[in-house]
């Protein structure tokens, strides 16, 4: 038996002579079918439709360059045999996980499986995946609810999500209403699964390539830069590290364009982009924010150090000679405004606004200034208490609660240790406090009940509503927590919507 071709290109004028596309019929009968491209001239719409019905993947019109035929063949093969795609599969059934992994690995995909839906968020944060498959029914958190949580986060708006479920009209409606891209029907059909996954990966790849990068500079565009900076903000929030966000504006870019032309303006923009990439650390994030503005995020670096680094970059930028089409030198400078998390803003929109305000102050002082102080009369208030403080050692659960609460518009902070929570809430802290505290009983450093008693002694339970989270639900423990000052008590495992309702009630009191 000869080698099996991966794709076949058929000349319609040859294959049609005796019957309508006999070779297409033969290729379609092979198991699995061999994909085919039909190249034709003035065939009718009926002929084209028949070719596609018989299994042709594409119909190209003559005359056509060979390179275009090859490109179309490569596109089809990418869809059928996606390479280097990373898929995360979540299902509480080990047999289903094993079956899905075998099918997808056989199609050339890198597959990670997890049985606990609470681990999905932390896994997505730790690694990059191209597609997610969720079982509709899982303990603690079903696939539809998890899909809604992910779709509420801008970082995963574009992540293809497939739901594994039964083929019922009411279920299909729920799946698409939750924001999923497609359904994988039980029982699983190998080739159908691979095709659905391949289609989604191909569309996602095209979308990412078009939407993530600024075409002029090659830097992440505003949407992508914001996505990456939000990841850094969450890390800074969890590990209590500083995060500086700078908005950088090219001074008088419009004047450069008017005097020297659009090409000169583009050259200045590209020179600054190259400088930012070359000057700052690999872990820093630089992106194109708008026509004449860039964004720069520096993790673990405070206000003064960020300003010092930007001044070094400014000095180097001023030494760069940019020339127009006639060879005339036109000097360029930039100004920058810096905002620091969490002092100047608790979320990315607030930080961006504060950095813009600082930039306006810098620009008002003239060309080439760095402003590291935000005008407190203009910046969004940072002294207001956050809505919900989460004190929980389980990072996966903390991530889930943080995402769910922030999707509902609540300002949150997560701490993993009882002593850290006591320090943050204590009388010597400058922190603004929290309206509601979700607190686990089992905590490192200082257990939840002991922490609750200390908070009551300090009078914090009079202004902050404490909801205790525990894996045990004995009546004595519940009574002890309530006597110690808890507002409410929820036992693990709990329903996330039920907990959100309890939080809402606590905030309304």
Distance of CA 66 to CAs 39, 63, 230, Å?
A: 11, 10, 45
Give buried/exposed letters for 245-256 (b at 16+ CB in 10 A, else e): bbbbbbbebeeb
Domain boundaries 386-508, CATH class:
alpha beta
- Predicted confidence (pLDDT) per residue in 384-435, tens digit: 678 899 999 888 888 888 888 877 778 888 888 888 888 888 887 767 788 9
- Phi then psi dihedrals of residue 385, to 5 deg: -65, 145
pLDDT-derived band of residue 2, with 50, 70 and 90 as boundaries? Answer: low
pLDDT at 381: 40
For the cut 90, the answer to whether the pLDDT of residue 287 exceeds it is yes
Of 178, 167, 104, the closest CA to residue 141 belongs to 178
Residues 6+ apart with CB under 8 A from 126: none
Whether 178 and 151 have beta carbons less than 8 Å apart is answered as: yes
Mean pLDDT within 11-35: 73
Strand-pair partners of 59: 38
Residue predicted with more confidence, 19 or 224: 224
C-alpha–C-alpha distance, residues 325 and 257, integer Å:
12
Whether pLDDT at 313 is above 90: yes
Q: What's the rounded Cα separation, in Å, for the pair 11 and 17? A: 11
Determine which helix (DSSP H) or strand (DSSP E) holds 339, and give its type and residue range. strand 334-341
Domain boundaries, the chain: 8-80, 86-211, 222-371, 386-508
Of residues 158 and 306, the one with the higher pLDDT is 306
Q: What is the mean pLDDT of residues 101-109?
A: 90
Residue 147 CA to residue 381 CA, distance in Å, equals: 33
Supply φ then ψ for residue 335, to 5 degrees.
Answer: -120, 160
CA-wise closest residue to 178 among 205, 153, 146, 144? 144
How much is the pLDDT for 326?
A: 60
**pLDDT above 70 for 206:** no
- Class in CATH terms, 8-80: alpha beta
Q: Which residues are CB-neighbours of 130 under 8 A, at least 6 positions away? A: 85, 86, 87, 159, 160, 201, 204, 205
Q: State the pLDDT confidence band at 19, using cuts at 50, 70 and 90.
A: low
Q: Where are the beta strands (DSSP E) in 78-214?
A: 86-90, 110-114, 131-135, 161-165, 182-185
Tens digit of each residue's pLDDT (9 = 90 or more) over 347-379: 888 888 889 889 988 988 889 999 998 654 444
The separation between CA 334 and the C-alpha centre of its own chain, rounded to angstroms, equals: 30
The string of DSSP letters for 142-156 reads -HHHHHHHHHTSGGG
Position 380 confidence tier, pLDDT thresholds 50, 70, 90:
very low
User: pLDDT band at 132, cuts 50/70/90?
Assistant: very high
- Tokens 């019905």, residue? 53
- Distance, CA of 314 to CA of 368 (rounded, Å): 7
Query: What pLDDT digit, counting tens, does each position of 47-93 carry?
Result: 777 777 777 888 887 777 665 677 788 778 766 665 568 899 999 99
Predicted pLDDT of residue 136: 92
Contact 39, 69 (CB under 8 A): yes
| Cα distance from N-terminal residue to C-terminal residue, the chain | 77
- Residue 363: how many CA atoms within 13 Å on its side-chain side? 17
Tell me the DSSP string of 14-81. HHTSSSS-HHHHHHHHSSSPPPEEEEESS--HHHHHHHHHTTEEEEEESS--HHHHHHHHHHHHHHHS
Query: Distance between CA 89 and CA 96 in Å, rounded?
Result: 10
Q: For 39, left (φ over 0), alpha (ψ -120 to 50), or beta? A: beta
Same fold, 86-211 and 386-508: yes
**DSSP string for 203-240:** HHHHHHHHHSB-TTT-SB-HHHHHHHHHHHHHHHHHHT
At 25, is the pLDDT very low, low, confident or very high (cuts 50, 70, 90)?
confident
DSSP at 28: H
pTM of the entire predicted model? 0.43
User: Residues with Cβ < 8 Å from 473, sequence gap 6 or more?
Assistant: 491
How much is the mean pLDDT over the chain?
84
Instruction: Tell me the percentage of the chain whose pLDDT exceeds 70.
Output: 88
In CATH, the number for domain 86-211 is 3.40.50.2300
CATH (residue range 222-371): 3.30.70.270
Task: Work out the average pLDDT over 436-465.
Answer: 90
* Phi, psi torsion values for 196, nearest 5 degrees: -65, -45
Q: What is the pLDDT of residues 478-497, one digit of tens each?
A: 788 888 889 998 888 888 88
Check residue 1 and give its pLDDT: 42
User: Is 195 within 8 Å of 214 (Cβ atoms)?
Assistant: no
DSSP three-state, residue 36: strand
pLDDT digits (tens, 9 = 90+) for 211-268: 678 888 889 888 888 888 988 898 898 888 899 999 999 998 888 888 888 888 888 9
pLDDT of residue 14: 64
């Amino acid at each position: 038996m000869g080698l099996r071709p991966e794709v076949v290109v058929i000349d319609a004028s040859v294959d049609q002579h005796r019957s309508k596309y006999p070779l297409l019929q033969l290729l379609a009968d092979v198991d699995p079918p061999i994909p085919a491209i039909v190249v034709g001239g003035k065939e009718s719409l009926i002929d084209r439709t028949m070719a596609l019905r018989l299994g042709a993947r594409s119909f190209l019109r003559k005359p056509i360059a060979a390179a275009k035929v090859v490109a179309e063949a490569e596109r089809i093969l990418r869809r059928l045999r996606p390479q280097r795609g990373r898929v995360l599969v979540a299902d509480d059934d080990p047999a289903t996980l094993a079956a899905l992994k075998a099918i997808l690995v056989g199609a050339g995909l890198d597959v990670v499986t997890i049985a606990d839906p609470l681990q999905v968020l932390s896994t997505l944060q730790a690694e990059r995946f191209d597609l997610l498959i969720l079982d509709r029914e899982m303990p603690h958190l079903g696939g539809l609810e998890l899909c809604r949580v992910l779709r509420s986060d801008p970082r995963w708006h574009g992540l293809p999500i497939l739901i594994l479920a039964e083929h019922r009209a009411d279920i299909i409606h729920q799946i698409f209403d939750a924001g999923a891209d497609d359904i994988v029907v039980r029982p699983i059909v190998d080739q159908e699964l691979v095709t659905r996954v391949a289609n989604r990966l191909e569309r996602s790849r095209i979308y990412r390539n078009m939407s993530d990068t600024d075409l002029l500079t090659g830097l992440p565009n505003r949407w992508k830069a914001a996505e990456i900076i939000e990841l850094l903000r969450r890390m800074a929030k969890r590990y209590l590290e500083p995060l500086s966000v700078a908005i950088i504006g090219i001074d008088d870019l419009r004047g450069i364009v008017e005097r020297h032309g659009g090409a000169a303006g583009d050259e200045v923009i590209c020179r600054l982009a190259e400088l930012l990439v070359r000057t700052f650390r690999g872990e820093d994030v630089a992106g194109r924010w708008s026509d004449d503005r860039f964004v720069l995020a520096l993790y673990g670096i405070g206000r003064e150090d960020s300003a010092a680094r930007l001044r070094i970059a400014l000095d180097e930028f001023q030494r760069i000679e940019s020339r127009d089409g006639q060879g005339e030198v036109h000097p360029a400078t930039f100004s920058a405004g810096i905002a620091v998390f969490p002092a100047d803003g608790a979320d990315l929109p607030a930080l961006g606004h504060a950095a813009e305000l600082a930039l306006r102050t810098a620009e008002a002082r003239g060309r080439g200034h760095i402003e590291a102080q935000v005008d407190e009369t203009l910046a969004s208030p940072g002294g207001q208490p956050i809505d919900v403080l989460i004190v929980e050692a389980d990072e996966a659960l903390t991530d889930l609660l943080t995402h769910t609460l922030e999707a509902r518009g609540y300002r949150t902070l997560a701490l993993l240790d009882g002593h850290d929570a006591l320090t943050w809430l204590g009388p010597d802290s400058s922190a603004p406090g929290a309206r509601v505290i979700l607190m686990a009983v089992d905590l490192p450093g200082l257990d939840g009940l002991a922490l609750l008693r200390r908070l009551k002694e300090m009078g914090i339970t009079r202004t902050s509503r404490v909801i205790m989270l525990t894996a045990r639900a004995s009546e004595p423990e519940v009574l002890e927590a309530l006597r110690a000052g808890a507002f409410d008590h929820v036992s693990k495992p709990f329903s996330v919507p039920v907990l959100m309702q309890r939080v809402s009630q606590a905030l309304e009191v």
